Amino acid sequence: MVREFKIFVPDEKIDLLNKKIDLTRWPDEINDDRWKLGTKKSYLEEAVGTWRNSFDWRKHEAKLNEAGSFKYKTDSGLELHYLHKKSGSRNAIPLLLTHGWPGSVQEFLKVIPLLIKGKEGIEFDVVCPAIPGYGFSDKPKELGMNAKEVAKLENELMLALGYTKYIAQGGDWGSMVSKWIAELFPENCIGLHLNLVIAFPPDGADPMDGVLPEEIEGMKNLEKYQATGYGYFAIQSTKPQTLGYGLNDSPVGLAAWIIEKFHGWANKESGQLVVPLDEVLAIVSLYWYTESITSSARFYYENGPMGFSLNKISQPMAGAIFKNEIARPPKVWADEIYNIIQWNQHPGGHFAALENPEILAEDIFSYAAKLKIQ
């Protein structure tokens, strides 16, 4: 069952947020100009001051509603929140966009208008579901809601909307969910576009065989991430409940946890965020108001060390490879899992739809043109 869902956060929740901020007990800090130990205190104080005194949640709430806010009750009884925007064209291609962590459906607000506007005769009807446990989607009541199960729910949603043939697109967890969709539902998913490509060295072969010199730098991105930025992953994939007690109760703690990722995964050469602070605060606010930081972190536990399938898919696949992405595998590795017809390099980082919506949209249009969909 599909129903319209108007997002509205009660004033009492906004007032409680402000009171919680006012009661913050700030920690000490060793001078850390380069964010080596985590979120820089002076930056966080300024960001939280903006959040408390001038940030306008109602503006962002309105944008979500304008993007077409709905809920779908799945056969299992769990409700998915999703955004749905149509191009108005009879020949529009259904496009399923899946977010990751610490993102949300808000990631796609800048790219949706570009996709439905179209280019050179290609237009999209865009559907952006919130993963269960994220945003306004229901929180799972039992263990077992991993990427494979989410893929099943998202395909169910697309069929309920009348989209029997569609392209799946994603980054971060959305990449893993989209890969599962392509594998499980080849009769429905006609194409796969990823802005984070997951791939591994082929078994029984020299892992460097066929790797291009310029791809070695991308491999170093992952090495650096594992050495200096992997702590959150270890915690969220082993003890997410313990983490939740702190982050669900402290808005400043929550902001620090999320802002660090928008700093480290977007622009490694700068002390500033590439994504505007106002947009990051909107994402932090959504986690706060929906109390979804614990359930979203639990998704790491659900997928374990290897929630990814190595089975090769047959659908045409496109990889949009952004320079500062945390993982940039060589194309020769990806060839083992995907049927690659497009592989483009771009400037930018992990949050492609937020950082570079025009580039991401252009890459999707280019890919769709190659599919020659009738």
pTM of the model: 0.95
* Residue 203, pLDDT score: 82
Average pLDDT over the chain, rounded to an integer: 93
CA Rg value for the chain: 20
Taking the CB of residue 58, how many other CB atoms lie within 10 A of it?
A: 11
Who contacts 358 (Cβ-Cβ below 8 Å, separation ≥6)? 114
CB 265 within 8 A of CB 34: no
CB 175 within 8 A of CB 195: yes
Q: How far apart are the first and last CA of the chain?
A: 29
Is 121 exposed, middle or buried (CB count within 10 Å of its CB: 0-12, 13-18, 19+)?
A: exposed
* Residue 147, pLDDT score: 97
**In the predicted structure, residue 268 carries a pLDDT above the cut 60:** no
* Residue 267, pLDDT score: 54
172 classed as catalytic: yes
Average pLDDT value for residue range 41-61? 97
Instruction: Look at residue 3 and give its three-state secondary structure.
Output: strand
* Residue 343, pLDDT score: 97
Report the percentage of the chain scoring pLDDT > 90: 79
Identify the CATH homologous superfamily for domain 2-371.
Alpha/Beta hydrolase fold, catalytic domain (3.40.50.1820)
**In the predicted structure, residue 374 carries a pLDDT above the cut 80:** no
Report the percentage of the chain scoring pLDDT > 70: 97
363 classed as catalytic: no
pLDDT in tens, 310-354: 899 999 999 999 998 988 899 999 999 999 999 999 999 999 999
* Residue 207, pLDDT score: 79
**In the predicted structure, residue 34 carries a pLDDT above the cut 80:** no
Order of all β-strands in the sheet with 124-129: 2-4, 69-73, 79-85, 124-129, 93-98, 166-170, 189-194, 316-322, 339-346
pLDDT in tens, 209-224: 877 888 888 787 778 8
* Residue 210, pLDDT score: 78
**In the predicted structure, residue 356 carries a pLDDT above the cut 60:** yes
From 172, 193, 263, 289, active-site residue:
172
* Residue 31, pLDDT score: 80
pLDDT in tens, 66-78: 999 999 999 999 9
Dihedral angle over CA of 277, 36, 302, 170, nearest 10:
50
Identify any residues that bridge with 243 across adjacent strands, giving them in sequence order: none
pLDDT in tens, 100-121: 999 999 999 999 999 999 998 9
CB 148 within 8 A of CB 311: no
* Residue 208, pLDDT score: 82
* DSSP per-residue string spanning 108-125: GTTTHHHHHH-BTTB-EE
> Where do the domains of the chain lie?
2-371
350 classed as catalytic: yes
Of the pLDDT bands very low, low, confident and very high (cuts 50, 70, 90), residue 93 is very high
Who contacts 272 (Cβ-Cβ below 8 Å, separation ≥6)? 263
CB 106 within 8 A of CB 97: no
- For tokens 């237009």, name the residue: 123
From 300, 338, 346, 367, active-site residue:
300
Q: Ranked by mean pLDDT, which of 154-168, 226-240, 295-309 comes out on top?
A: 154-168
From 84, 166, 350, 363, active-site residue:
350
